[in-house]
Structures are given as C-alpha cells and as structure tokens.
Amino acid sequence: MPSEIAMYFKTEPITGALITDKANVAIAYRRSMTPRVILTLLALPVEILAIILDEYHLMDLPLTLLMTVCRTMNEVIKTTPRLWRRILISLDSMPPSLKAGSTMACATEKFLQTCIQRARNSPLEATFVVGRIDESSPTPEFRRERFRMLMSRSSQISFLCLIINPDTPLQVIKESFHGLFDDPTAFPALESLMIASAFPVPGLLEVFHPLLDQLERTTVKLRSVYFENVTREFILAAREYRFWRKLRRVTIKGEYSPIHITTFEGCDDLEFLSISSELLVHPSCALNPPLRGGPLGISDSNEMEVEAASGCESQYLPVHPERKVPLTKVQWLRVGAIAMSGLQELQIPNVKFLVIQSALPDSARQTPVPAHSIRLPNLQVFHVAASHSEIIAISAPELHTLCLQVSVLKRADADRVVSSIFHGDEGMWTPKTLSINAPIHDKHYETLYRRLPDLETLTVTLGDKPSETFYKTLKKRGILPHLLRLTLDFYALPTPTPANGASTSTPQMRTVRYGPLTEGELALSGSYKFWRGGGGTVSTLLGSKPTPPLLSEQVRPAMRDVARVRANQHLEFALLACKYGAEQLEEIYAENNICNACRKSAYLNGRVEPAGTHLNEAHPSVKTNVGEEPQSVESNHLKAAE
C-alpha cells in the first residue's frame, strides 16, 4: 500500500510552488487540488484515502486547509480519529510555528472538545503550553481547568509535552500545573515525555515532582524522555526513579554543569543518548547508587527475583566496583564535551553514530591515550570539533562519514592538526564522505586528498575566497578519482541579535542551477578567465569607484573550470555546488545521476548568467526554483538535433 501511495504522488506532482514552511506546503497541496486530482482522490476507496491523509499527517502538515477541498474530503478527515490525536492547548499568545503543523492548536474550549470527541479512543499526543504572559493572558486557574479537560483522557496519552515559554514567572507555572498530576491521573499508555523550557527556571522540580511520582506509579511503556533547561537538580532527581532505568532514548539539552556517566546507571536498554553538557567518566565524580525501589520505595518483581537469587540485601542498585557504566546497547551518542581519557572509559562497543561537540584536551598530568586504542568497531558516522589531534585515539575501521571541525585560530596550528589526523599510516580514518571545516593553507589540501583517494563526497567549509592553488589541486590528474559530490560552503557570520530582543527572520536560501557547458567550452584549455567577461562597468567608465564583485562572481568561473577539466578527465561530478551564506545563495554547477560504477556523460554546458540579471529573466538553462529538475543531457541533445 505505501508504494501505491508514493506512485500516486509521483504521477500527480506539485509544481511551480516555492515552499518555505509548513503552511506554504499545505497551501501548495490545496492549490494542486484541481478537479481532475479531486476526482482521482474521490475514486479511491475511503480506506486508501484515509491512509494518504495519514501520510500527509505524519509529515506534520496542517489538515484544516484540506478540509475545504470538498465535502467528501472534509467528512473523511472528520471521521478518522487518528488524524485528531495531536492536541495542543495554549491560552497565551501563540506563535505561528505552533499553528502551522499537524497539531490541532486549541485556543477555545469548543474546539478542544471537538478534537477530543473526534479523536475517540486513539492514542493522544498532548501538548500544554504556558506563556508568554501578557495583559491578554488568562489566570493560572483558568489555564489549569482547560488543561484538566484533556488530562481527563490521561490514560490515552502516548506523548506528553510540557512547554514553558520565555518570561514566564515560576509562580504562574506552579499555579497552572497545580494538582494536574494528582490522582486519579494515570499514564498507562505514555511512551514519550518532553519537558522544555526556553530558559532555565529554578524550581521546576517542585512543579513537576507530582508528575514524576505519578509516572513511577502508573507508567509501563515510557521509553523516551526529552528534557530542556530543567536544571541539573531535576535530572538527578529523575535518575532515581525506576522508570528511568527502562528508558531507551534520553535527550538532555541546555546549559548544565558536567553530568557524570553514573546518571545512567542501570539503564541497560539505552540505545540513544544525547546530552549538551560535558560528560564525566572518572570514578572520583561518581554519584551515589540509586535506590532499588526508587524514591517511592516501589519494588519491582524482576529485581526482587534477581535479589533473591544473588542473596544481595542492599537497598541500592548493584553497581560496578569501579563505577563503570556499560552502555552496550547504545548506538547513537551525542555529548557536549568529553576528553579522550573519558571516552576511553566508556563501554560503547555498538555505537554507530557519535557526535562530540567539543573534544577536550587531556590534562598534561595524564598519560596520553595511545593512537587508535579506543576501539569502536561499529562506528559509521562521526562528528567532532577539536583543537588538537588527540582524537586519533579512536579506532574506527568501519567509518563511512566524518564531519571534522578544527577549532584553532592560526593556520599553522590547523595544518599540524589535520596532518596528524590524516597521517597516512595504518589505522588512519578512511571515510568515503568527509566534511571538513579547518583553516588550513590551500597547499595542504593536495596532501589530504592524496591520503583519501576513496572519497566520494566532500564538503569544504571556507571563510573566504580560496587561492589558485586550491583549484589547481582539484584539477590535477589522479586527485580524488572517485569523487562524485563536491560542495564549497562559504559560511556567513551570524547576525547579531537586536538590543530589544526582537526576533529576526532568516532570509531563505535561493538556489540557482546552471546548465551544461558547450562543446566549445569543454574543448578550451588553459585559463578560466574567459568566463569573467570583458569590458568595464558603467561606473568604471565614468570614473566612479567600482563596486567590489560578489564572492559568488569571483568563485563561479573557477568552479566551472574545475568541472570542465574533470569532465575532460572522465571524472564528471554528480553534484558540484557552492553555498554563499552572506548572499543567501546556493549555486549548483552540476547535478547528474551518475555513480562510480558507470560515470555517464554529465558535462556542465550552458552559460553563466550575467551579473545583475533578474532571476525570472535568466537563461533557460538556469533553474531558480528549488523544486525544478535540471534539464537532462538527453533532452539537450534532442534540442540540438532539432
């Protein structure tokens, strides 16, 4: 059935719409509902139509616009309970982002009752929002009563999300949730819990302590938690409960003091762990073992059997004598910071995806961790930011994707770090996909490329226009023979936040596609300066100070020449692109369906659009809509023949 649905959307594409957000996606779908499309949909069995709508719902797109398409569509949406399972209650000023998705944002009591009735017995995804508080905000008591309407169906809630917006006083939070999680509230169906605050609010533990107690008493399916800005005290308190040990997915986001690995003691089923703070591993900082029965003293039948068999009478959970915490099932690990000496102590043999936002250098008093001594035999994707080369302590023979950021100021230091990481000897990482952000000298890229001949995808982040050496390296014979996708990312410095704290919208990145090079351009050799164009600008001829060219205008000719040279070497690109952050521009110079097994002809033909030409007046070979497909080589040949 899913394949049939996918085939339907392939035969009825939505074209001509520049999609910027969820609301625009929904509008695009609504506008695409031509009479022919509507008749096609209505010809489907109701069950099939409900499945299509469910896929649309899973994309987190709003259904309210589709309810206006026709009477039948309206009726199908109304009578499909699972389409009404996502309910959000916010009585304060509601940002547009909360209204754009598939969640039913209930600002009135009538609409909330309607959503609850239409959801029937479906598992509910409930979201409660408090703040921002202004003169139009209701009293906490009024807000609490509205929350209680949905909490009366707590036995159906599979996902519970509590959001606290900025500038919300603690007293308002307390009164809004007061008594909401007391008996007879129960969560037998709860699978995922999310508590997120825009900023750290001391005292949240007192507010949500009744919730943690009720989860301990009634939940049996909870396997995922997401905590953001809930304070370290909250995390350590939650760690004491028995439900914490049954979690499979834990996300802790926010500014915290370092968290010790013993926070996850007893979490034997943990598969996904993400924390934004530093992770400590040394036994000297270990936490006290958690109580067997948790803070409420509720015994677990399985633990009682183990205790009886082992003869252990301690009230604490049995722990490793050296306080090591085996995370043998963890496959996805993300930490804000950790040193290699700490990573060495972790027991994560099955991790496949590892993110270290900051690899800390080990203390000078510690013995350096030997190179390739931390064995991670299943690691496939590794993202790391470091200012040193100590990260080569990691051995990853199956590494496929590496995202490396070298956080140093001097180029000489970056040269040394990158050279040490890619040393060319046995045990060196040999990824097929590399993203590198390091301020190394352009001449060192050749050494890097020659040591990684199997690279297929390469992204290089640069702060400024590279030198001629950078481009010459890419054009040398024998360099990166398997490279298919190359992207240069010229990052832009972040825009400072206004003093009044007002949010600023980020301009959308526009995409420009260039068509293939002509046969005459492919036959050219030597300098690429013929692409720069001749003649002076009007301002130059009149004696005015010339306007400095945009970075894209400076880089584009060199990149197209790289494409030309490699095409003549039968090393065509599947993708060749540049991203110019300051210009909010992405230019794609090659986009072809080729692989290393069979490099089909993918020459970049066409002409460079003259600077200053409006996008809508561009050459036919230049594509400016994100959703448009580039012209195929075959279609260009047919046009030439005609």
Range of 293-302, 359-368, 386-395, 586-595 with top mean pLDDT:
386-395
Which of 281, 278, 271 is closest to 325 using CA atoms?
281
Predicted structure pTM score: 0.81
Tokens of 236: 């350590």
Q: Exposure of 54 by Cβ count < 10 A (0-12 exposed, 13-18 middle, 19+ buried)? A: middle
Contact 578, 556 (CB under 8 A): yes
In this prediction, residue 41 carries a pLDDT of 67
Which of 68, 83, 85 is closest to 33 using CA atoms?
68
Question: How far apart, in whole angstroms, are the C-alpha atoms of residue 223 and residue 244?
Answer: 8
Which of 133, 124, 132, 134 is closest to 161 using CA atoms?
124
Question: How far apart, in whole angstroms, are the C-alpha atoms of residue 163 and residue 576?
Answer: 42
Tell me the mean pLDDT in the region 422-438. Answer: 95
Residue 175 — left, alpha, or beta (φ > 0 → left; ψ -120 to 50 → alpha)? Answer: alpha
Residue type at position 453:
P
Tokens of 191: 């699978």
In this prediction, residue 522 carries a pLDDT of 63
Does the pLDDT of residue 596 top 70, yes or no? no
pLDDT for 144-173, tens place per residue? 999 999 999 999 999 999 999 888 899 999
β-bridge pairing 401-406 and 433-437 = parallel
Confidence tier at 563 by pLDDT (50, 70, 90): very high
Does the pLDDT of residue 340 top 70, yes or no? yes
CB atoms within 10 A of CB 43: 9
In this prediction, residue 163 carries a pLDDT of 92
In this prediction, residue 525 carries a pLDDT of 56
Number of alpha helices (DSSP H) and beta strands (DSSP E) in the chain? 20, 21
Helix (H) or strand (E) holding 356: strand 353-360
pLDDT for 435-468, tens place per residue? 999 999 999 999 999 999 999 999 999 988 999 9
Interior CA angle at 290 toward 286 and 296, to 5°? 150
CB atoms within 10 A of CB 167: 13
In this prediction, residue 305 carries a pLDDT of 53
DSSP letters for 135-172: TT---HHHHHHHHHHHHTTGGGEEEEEEEE-TT--HHH
Confidence tier at 189 by pLDDT (50, 70, 90): very high
Question: How far apart, in whole angstroms, are the C-alpha atoms of residue 349 and residue 539?
Answer: 65
Contact 239, 290 (CB under 8 A): yes
Contact 98, 61 (CB under 8 A): no
Phi then psi for residue 623, to 5 deg, are: -100, 130
Tokens of 469: 């050496």
CA distances from 458 to 245, 271, 403, 455, 620 (A): 41, 29, 10, 7, 29
Partnered with residue 161 across adjacent β-strands are 127, 194
In this prediction, residue 255 carries a pLDDT of 80
In this prediction, residue 520 carries a pLDDT of 66
Is 374 strand, coil or helix?
Answer: strand
In this prediction, residue 532 carries a pLDDT of 47
Phi then psi for residue 389, to 5 deg, are: -105, 10
In this prediction, residue 48 carries a pLDDT of 82
In this prediction, residue 71 carries a pLDDT of 81
In this prediction, residue 354 carries a pLDDT of 97
Range of 130-139, 194-203, 295-304 with top mean pLDDT:
194-203
DSSP letters for 464-487: S---HHHHHHHHSTTSSTT--EEE
Scored b (16 or more CB within 10 A) or e, 566-605 reads bbeeebbbbbbbbbbbebebbbbbbbbebeeeebeebbbb
Residue type at position 529:
K
In this prediction, residue 607 carries a pLDDT of 36
Q: CA torsion, points 7, 9, 13, 17, in degrees to nearest 10?
A: -150
Question: Rg of the Cα trace of the chain?
Answer: 29
Range scoring the smallest mean pLDDT among 97-101, 254-258, 407-411, 576-580: 97-101
Tokens of 379: 């690691």
Which of 291, 312, 183 is closest to 242 using CA atoms?
291
DSSP letters for 567-628: HHTT---SEEEEEEGGGTEEEEEEE----SSS-------S-PPPTT--GGGS-TT-B--TTP
Contact 278, 258 (CB under 8 A): yes
Which of 241, 304, 247, 246 is closest to 274 using CA atoms?
247
Which residues are CB-neighbours of 200 under 8 A, at least 6 positions away? Answer: 229, 230, 231, 254, 255
Question: How far apart, in whole angstroms, are the C-alpha atoms of residue 295 and residue 239?
Answer: 10
Does the pLDDT of residue 28 top 70, yes or no? no
pLDDT for 480-525, tens place per residue? 999 999 999 998 765 554 544 444 455 678 888 887 766 666 666 5
Tell me the mean pLDDT in the region 32-46. Answer: 67
Is 243 strand, coil or helix?
Answer: helix
DSSP code at position 197 = E
Question: How far apart, in whole angstroms, are the C-alpha atoms of residue 39 and residue 12?
Answer: 12
Question: How far apart, in whole angstroms, are the C-alpha atoms of residue 332 and residue 356?
Answer: 11
Question: How far apart, in whole angstroms, are the C-alpha atoms of residue 437 and residue 181?
Answer: 48
In this prediction, residue 160 carries a pLDDT of 95
Range scoring the smallest mean pLDDT among 398-412, 534-548, 563-577: 534-548
DSSP letters for 616-633: GGS-TT-B--TTPPPPPH
CB atoms within 10 A of CB 507: 9
Question: How far apart, in whole angstroms, are the C-alpha atoms of residue 375 and residue 117?
Answer: 54
Is 347 strand, coil or helix?
Answer: strand
Tell me the mean pLDDT in the region 65-90. Answer: 83
Question: How far apart, in whole angstroms, are the C-alpha atoms of residue 166 and residue 95?
Answer: 12
pLDDT for 107-123, tens place per residue? 888 989 999 999 999 99
Domain locations in the chain as residue ranges: 1-79, 509-530+550-641
DSSP letters for 445-467: HHHHHHH-TT--EEEEEESS---
Share above pLDDT 70 across residues of the chain, in percent, rounded to a whole number: 74
CA distances from 480 to 197, 242, 328, 461, 467 (A): 47, 53, 37, 18, 19
User: What's the mean per-residue pLDDT of the chain?
Assistant: 79
Question: At how many degrees (to 10) do helices 140-151 and 109-119 cross?
Answer: 10
Beta strands of 220-298 (E only): which ranges? 224-228, 249-253, 259-260, 272-280
Tell me the mean pLDDT in the region 57-66. Answer: 77
